[in-house]
Amino acid sequence: MFSFLIFFMFVVIVDVRANDVKGKLYTDLVNDVCIVGAGIGGASTAYYMFQRNSSTTVRAFERRDYVGGRLKHVVIEGNVIEIGGDAWSSANEYIGRIVKDLNVSVDEDASRLPQDPVSDSLAVWNGETLIGVEETLLKHALSDVKGLLEEAEFLRALRRNYRERGADPFQTIDEFLTFGDLTTYTKVSSSEYFDRHLIANATQRDLVEPLLRTIYDQGLDAHAFASLVAVTSVVGAASASEGNSALVEAMFNASAATVELRTNVKSVERFQNGTFLLRTDASGVSGTHHCRTIALASPIEFCDVRFVGDLGHEMDRISRRPFEHNYVHLVTAKAVNGSYFGHAGARVPDTVLTTRDATSTPFVDVQLVASLSGNRSLYKLFANQLIPSTDLRRIFVNMSNVSVHRWTYTFPHLRPQNEGGYQPIEPAVGLVYLNAMESVASAMEGSVIAGRNAAGLLYGVLNS
């Protein structure tokens, strides 16, 4: 009789579980939070969830074989070379606080652009001649003073944004932008903004836009926020000494989260009780994971997750943004060929940016990133296409090695937006979408802000 009852209970349990899945009533929860994407946004979500409640169970899934997402580096002859996000600014309060709290080793001189843009180590190539930055600034001193004042006001607005937001999460991107009145910079294009503030056209064309192309691979049709972030990036920049992905690893380690690498999230299904089932594939091995909430920390345009049923209809309403793509070329050579820039025999500046007019030039910028043994140097070039070796041999002297990393997506088009034009942060109850923030600025600090905010929103759901 006893064995019959055990058998009967087993059949009932199996039957109930089967019916639960069909009826979407599954209640056997394993994780409080599942994070799709183990970049800096996902790591920030895990880190700040732990700060709010250290007993929260968090599991992150990453289809790549490393954490960091678009933060990635290589080590060449002992030099850490970033091939993804390069650096953060001294204006980035959250990252500054995290690296101190987690004792992340920081290289304060790690910017791949000069700390002082008025320098002979930086020039701009317009396809015909190298333009000295100091020359550009001195020709338009009055307008450039106005530009510096506008940049200072922008930094004050960023500080007000931090103070006014406080600890409470925001529900929409529009709400985020009200703090510090950042809509001043996101609702107009860069060219409109700088024209309105009487910044010389030459300064815009020969300095601001080349910086914007280097940081975001975009032109002055991007919103003014992007341009001012690009200008900010050349002053007081820093990065993690062991590679910026070390910051991501440190946050995950400090959060007690479980990270599943080489694991694709294939589908997400929502049950009637508001919880979720994730189906995954890890090198051909299928899995299921149950969670109370989800943080989607990958651009919806590229995450390749199928959202099932009504949840799918809700996610399909998110507008898709066009993105830039990028090829990072690492070139070992004796030097940059001055003849390529019309300066045969002359030393070429360590960093050469390009204007949009330099249409025959195959790269966006070229930067000296390390000195190697044997009188060799290591250069990094960003380009929108694979640069043929014939072109590289014209650009460099005694080129000996080339490696290329292709990013299929880097930055969304940062266009001016009016209220209501941004992707939603909470497309569904219990699901928070971090990468909506990228339409303001695709940057490390932006991802940390999004992760911190996601943790606040999900904490509210878990405790409601």
112-145+184-235+325-407 belongs to CATH 3.90.660? yes
Per-residue pLDDT of 295-343, as tens digits, reads: 999 999 999 999 999 999 999 999 999 999 999 999 999 999 999 998 8
333 phi/psi in degrees, rounded to 5: -160, 170
312 phi and psi, to 5 degrees? -60, -40
Domain with CATH 3.50.50.60 in the chain: 2-64+242-322+415-462
Dihedral angle sign, alpha carbons of residues 6, 7, 12, 15: positive
Give the pLDDT score at 143: 61
Alpha-carbon gap, residue 407 to 385, rounded angstroms: 11
Closest CA to 412 of 454, 443, 452: 443
Percent of the chain scoring above 90 in pLDDT: 78
Ranges in the chain annotated CATH 3.90.660: 112-145+184-235+325-407
Q: Options 3.40.50.2300, 3.50.50.60, 3.40.50.920, 3.40.1410.10; which CATH number does 2-64+242-322+415-462 get?
A: 3.50.50.60
Residues 6+ apart with CB under 8 A from 131: 123, 124, 125, 206
- CA 61 to CA 260: how far, in whole Å? 5
Q: Which stretches of the chain score pLDDT less than 70?
A: 1-29, 109-120, 134-146, 235
Q: What is the pLDDT of residue 29?
A: 58
In this predicted structure, what is the pLDDT of residue 344?
Answer: 81
pTM of the model: 0.90
Which amino acid is present at 330? L
Helix axes 224-232, 209-216, angle to 10 degrees: 90
| Residue 42 φ/ψ, nearest 5 degrees | -60, -40
